[in-house]
Amino acid sequence: MTGMEKVPAKNLDNDRMVSGVICRMKPLIVVTGGTKGIGRAIVDTFVTQGFDAVVCARSVEGVQGDGLLPFAADLATRDGVNELVQYVESLGRPVDVLVNNTGIFQPGQIHNEAEGTFEQLMNTNVASAYHLTRGLVRDMMIQRRGHIFMMCSTASITPYTNGGSYCISKFALLGMSRVLREELKPRGVKVTAILPGATLTASWEGTDLPEDRFLKPADVADSVWGAYSLSPSAVVEEILIRPQLGDI
């Protein structure tokens, strides 16, 4: 019984009756951009805590193991988002946590960045989160529980001169998070925006800066887990986390 464990008979939201035995479904987390960096750290943290994890990225090669449910899709496209929503729905399980972590960075300035940069970044960093949230939140609202995390950035609040469309997209994602928080307050669904500073992921490969100038992906994952672990009556609306020595 994948995703299930036998438990004493009692009423729990994630319980299912299988062959006359009440089984508890493991809680389910959906993480986009979940194959590396911050996304993978979040996946590993929640799986360690007893979750099953839908891990989505354009390529999920090598993603395997207990608790991991890999699904390949390009979430910069509407078709890719729809395919992921359909896959999650096919599992027949409630989504306890959604982490909208898909994102890309391209340096540049508004006046000189390449044609199409704005559309690419907005589709990947913003539209993917918008459409995926719309596709999965209805069941959370019906059940009156669930937690949505939006992976924003310090670029959501700080304009960087070489940030261009990336900053625009991250400002927009934070705005979406705040609107969604207000909408879902009376629905029992939590919304948390995560604003990490420079984090030592593949995007910083080749840097000459020492490791201690960066956040570790596990630092961000631990913050997400901490916010999720609060009682139902409390929510962390925004987490701003920077390297100890400040932004790079």
Instruction: Give percent of the chain with pLDDT exceeding 70.
Output: 90
Residues 108-127 as b or e (16 or more Cβ within 10 Å = b): beeeebeeebbeebbbbbbb
Give me the residue spans of the domains in the chain.
27-241
pLDDT in tens, 191-247: 999 999 989 787 777 788 888 889 999 999 999 999 999 999 999 999 999 999 998
Residues whose CB is less than 8 angstroms from the CB of residue 73 and which lie 6 or more positions away in sequence, other chains included? 56, 57, 58, 80, 81, 83, 84
SS3 204: helix
pLDDT in tens, 18-30: 455 556 789 999 9
By the 8 A CB rule, do 75 and 132 touch?
Answer: yes
Q: What is the mean pLDDT of residues 89-113?
A: 96
What's the pLDDT at 6? 43
Give me the CATH code for the 27-241 domain, please: 3.40.50.720
pLDDT in tens, 165-190: 999 999 999 999 999 999 999 999 99
